[in-house]
Amino acid sequence: MALSANSSATELIEQIREFEPAIVAIADAKARKQVEREISGSKLRTEIVGESARLAEVADVVVNGVVGFAGLEVTMATLRAGKRLALANKESLIAAGPVVAPLRRIAGAEIIPVDSEHCAIHQSLRSSQNVDRDVAKLLLTASGGPFRGRSRDSLQSVTVTEALQHPTWSMGPKITVDSSTLMNKGLEVIEAHELFGVGYDAIDVVVHPQSIVHSMVEFRDGAIIAQLSMPDMRLPIAYALEYPSRSANSFGAIDWSELSRLDFEKPDRDTFRCLQLAYEAGRIGGTAPAWLSAANEIAVETFLTGGVKWVEIPRIIEATMQHHDGLIPESVEDILQADRLARDWAKKETQN
Ligand code: MG
């Protein structure tokens, strides 16, 4: 029905030819012109627009896989239209939790998480008839990233290439760097709090290098329900599309003769300080998670372009958070303002 991209015109044109969607959004003006030129010369009836928020007008389910804070528009537009949001973009919920929450009460509006951990929790929670009463703890699993087990000293000079070597998941550069710092897990703790309404004391992180157990829920009687599968993002995407049914496609069953063990360990919160910073921002609430996420985006971008070392990422975020003004957001404008302020401070901190 609808497709969107930031600037990948060539791929988008191929997909338009294959799927003939009613509407296509492409944010980058130059790339949009290229797509328009290509389509106007063909028999295709696809409408080309700039705003990805327009997708919610025609689609029943919107998969939001935009990278970073830019995903907020899609999140808001989908919920406002009373549609299902299959959410892969965690930053929109983390930065704008207090503003997004009331939209979830709109008739038809619902969020089904695509983030594999939250998708696993969503599945595990279905084993209880009374989630508010029964849940004792959410246990988010983390692969630990490429630097699991490394000391702080040995991480002083890691390169971009090393940070982009994720052991189990194949993902974009921003989230892969976030996995290497454990900020991804920190953001997911806040995401879990926003999605499931569980307090920070009842959300734990367990390192599980095989990425087979995608997360777990501990209930008040001590029972733990987990979701296990091969690490393949197509499964959570299909889950969010088909819920409450199961997809007819199999994305690979676990071969128990190959899988000999599942390991679990505590995260190293001193070496991977980003995890702790995320818990702190989550507990402060208000615009603190928006600041954290924005500062992290700047720090990661700067790292990816060679401007700062990997070990500087938590330092930049922590220094930025020192300027947080404690604003309680009441509108999208408040969130946008928080995002801008945090980015400005973070940019200054990358120079220090
Ligand atoms: Mg995840």
Can you tell me the mean pLDDT for 133-146? 97
Ligand 1 centroid to Cα of residue 160, in Å, is 21
Banded pLDDT at 70 (limits 50, 70, 90)? confident
59 φ/ψ sector (left φ>0, alpha ψ -120 to 50, else beta): beta
pLDDT tens sequence across 243-278: 999 999 999 999 999 999 999 999 999 999 999 999
Q: What residue segments make up the domains of the chain, in order of their start?
A: 116-280
- Beta pairing partners, 216: 139, 226
Can you tell me the mean pLDDT for 183-197? 97
pLDDT tens sequence across 288-305: 999 999 999 999 999 999
Ligand 1 centroid to Cα of residue 158, in Å, is 23
Ligand 1 centroid to Cα of residue 65, in Å, is 12
Q: Judge whether residue 22 has pLDDT over 90.
A: yes
Ligand 1 centroid to Cα of residue 171, in Å, is 10
List the single range of 44-53, 81-90, 178-187, 220-229 with lowest mean pLDDT: 44-53
pLDDT tens sequence across 163-179: 999 888 878 899 999 99
Q: Which residue has the tokens 């928006």?
A: 290
User: Are the C-beta atoms of 248 and 261 separated by less than 8 Å?
Assistant: no
In this structure, what token pair is assigned to residue 18?
A: 């294959």
- In angstroms, the CA 161 to CA 275 distance is 22
Can you tell me the mean pLDDT for 217-222? 98
Give the pTM: 0.94
Banded pLDDT at 68 (limits 50, 70, 90)? confident
- In angstroms, the CA 196 to CA 189 distance is 11
Ligand 1 centroid to Cα of residue 287, in Å, is 22
Torsion (CA) 147, 148, 149, 150 in degrees, nearest 10: 20
Ligand 1 centroid to Cα of residue 143, in Å, is 10
Ligand 1 centroid to Cα of residue 116, in Å, is 5
pLDDT of residue 174: 93
Vertex 330 angle, CA 328 and 336, to 5°: 85
